């Protein structure tokens, strides 16, 4: 390890520029550490962050098979130093460890608990589906568009599929603005046509036997039924049955199939519903409000991520507690 005099000297303002979820540097005493790389390279990094509620951080590393000395591990991410007389001007997070002999003393500090934990968790969660390709049917508007945005925000490349060319292209342009580092394209097609469905994704997933996740959007009405919606309820119940059967058939190919059951969600369609009717609906929901498309998209991203690697054939209700 380089001596203190050999370390690159950073100005406080330069370090402060890296106080974001995308690039997080931290000053401990007068040394500068690259916390972003530390978290990304160690599966135990998140355990260290979460240890702020109690316990010794070194125990978290032991639990995931890392060195017992977390402080020693952090030395590998020492990238420079900041002049002692400049540290008081630093806008970046600063932790003064003093003579503490354990890394846990630093982690339990207010600076760590109030700043590092939320930023660190944000950094970890921002890559839930990094390296994956999301293909979203109906991605040209409404919930489908929100799903595209959520997947892109979480690191996925996205193919927007919609029968409406303009809507699909609008979504692609939106993704390029919101996530300029991503790769996005559109596919105009009608998934009710067998040949277009085959060439889109199903055949490829089975042939290559790579891990994949299908998420179907059903509805809580498919489970409960509703007066005046016999046809709609039947179609959405069919999606649930389709999901369960497909999950059993495709598991041997390492393909998971799950479905989302949205409740009453704000979409362009609901904007046309009279306020009196919407208020009556909200009174039946324990949360007292309609859901947002983003809340459906969050559930979809979870089911597409490795966090749900042992979940298949499930129906996730996103209803605000409706029909509990």
pLDDT for 186 beyond 70:
yes
* pLDDT at residue number 183: 86
Report the 10 Å Cβ neighbour count for 153.
18
* pLDDT at residue number 126: 61
Q: Are residues 150 and 213 part of one domain?
A: yes
pTM of the model: 0.63
Q: Are residues 279 and 175 part of one domain?
A: yes
Between 273 and 142, whose confidence is greater? 142
Mean pLDDT of 118-123: 52
Between 36 and 62, whose confidence is greater? 36
Ramachandran angles phi, psi of 203, nearest 5°: -65, -40
Residue 258 lies in a domain: yes
Residue 116 lies in a domain: no
Measured between alpha carbons, how far is 184 from 124 in angstroms, rounded to an integer?
22
Between 275 and 104, whose confidence is greater? 275
Q: Are residues 137 and 102 part of one domain?
A: no
Q: How many domains does the chain have?
A: 2
Report the 10 Å Cβ neighbour count for 218.
23
pLDDT tens readout for residues 37-70? 776 666 555 444 444 334 444 444 344 334 444 5
Q: Are residues 154 and 245 part of one domain?
A: yes
Residue 197 lies in a domain: yes
Q: Are residues 188 and 56 part of one domain?
A: no
Task: Using the CB atoms, write b or e for 62-88: b if 16+ within 10 Å.
Answer: eeeebeeebbebbeebbebbbeeebbe
Q: How confident is the model at residue 11 (pLDDT cuts 50, 70, 90)?
A: confident
Q: Are residues 139 and 93 part of one domain?
A: no
* pLDDT at residue number 55: 42
Q: Are residues 154 and 90 part of one domain?
A: no
Catalytic residue numbers, as ranges: 232
Residue 114 lies in a domain: no
| Structural domain containing residue 144 | 133-318
Q: How confident is the model at residue 218 (pLDDT cuts 50, 70, 90)?
A: very high
Between 252 and 207, whose confidence is greater? 252
Q: Are residues 143 and 104 part of one domain?
A: no
pLDDT tens readout for residues 246-277? 999 999 989 999 999 999 999 877 788 888 88
* pLDDT at residue number 260: 97
Q: What is the dihedral of CA 11, 17, 19, 23, to 10 degrees?
A: -110
Residue 103 lies in a domain: yes
Measured between alpha carbons, how far is 261 from 180 in angstroms, rounded to an integer?
31
Tokens of 117: 């934990």
């Amino acid at each position: 390890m380089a001596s203190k005099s050999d370390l690159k000297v950073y100005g406080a303002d330069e370090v402060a520029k890296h106080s974001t979820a995308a690039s997080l540097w931290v000053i401990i005493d007068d040394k500068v550490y690259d916390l972003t790389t530390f978290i990304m390279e160690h599966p135990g990094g998140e355990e260290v962050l979460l240890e702020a509620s109690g316990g010794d951080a070194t125990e978290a590393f032991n639990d995931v098979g890392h060195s017992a000395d977390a402080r020693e591990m952090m030395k590998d991410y020492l990238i420079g130093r900041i002049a002692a007389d400049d540290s008081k001007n630093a806008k970046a997070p600063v932790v003064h460890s003093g003579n503490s002999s354990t890394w846990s003393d630093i982690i339990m500090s207010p600076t760590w608990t109030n700043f590092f934990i939320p930023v660190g968790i944000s950094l970890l969660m921002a890559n839930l589906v990094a390296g994956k390709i999301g293909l979203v049917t109906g991605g040209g508007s409404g919930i489908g568009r929100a799903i595209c945005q959520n997947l892109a925000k979480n690191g996925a490349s996205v193919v927007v599929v919609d029968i409406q060319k303009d809507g699909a292209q609008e979504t692609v342009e939106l993704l390029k603005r919101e996530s300029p580092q991503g790769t996005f394209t559109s596919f105009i097609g009608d998934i009710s046509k067998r040949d277009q469905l085959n060439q889109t994704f199903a055949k490829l997933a089975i042939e290559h036997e790579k891990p994949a996740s299908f998420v179907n959007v059903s509805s809580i009405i498919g489970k409960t039924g509703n007066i005046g919606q016999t046809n709609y309820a039947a179609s959405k119940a069919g999606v649930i049955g389709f999901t369960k059967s497909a999950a059993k058939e495709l598991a041997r190919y390492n393909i998971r199939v799950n479905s989302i059951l949205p409740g009453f969600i704000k979409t362009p369609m609901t904007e046309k519903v009279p306020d009196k009717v919407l208020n009556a609906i909200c009174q039946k929901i324990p949360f007292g409000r309609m859901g947002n498309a983003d809340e459906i998209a969050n559930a979809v991203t979870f089911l597409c991520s490795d966090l749900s690697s042992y979940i298949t054939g499930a129906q996730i209700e996103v209803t605000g507690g409706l029909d509990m």
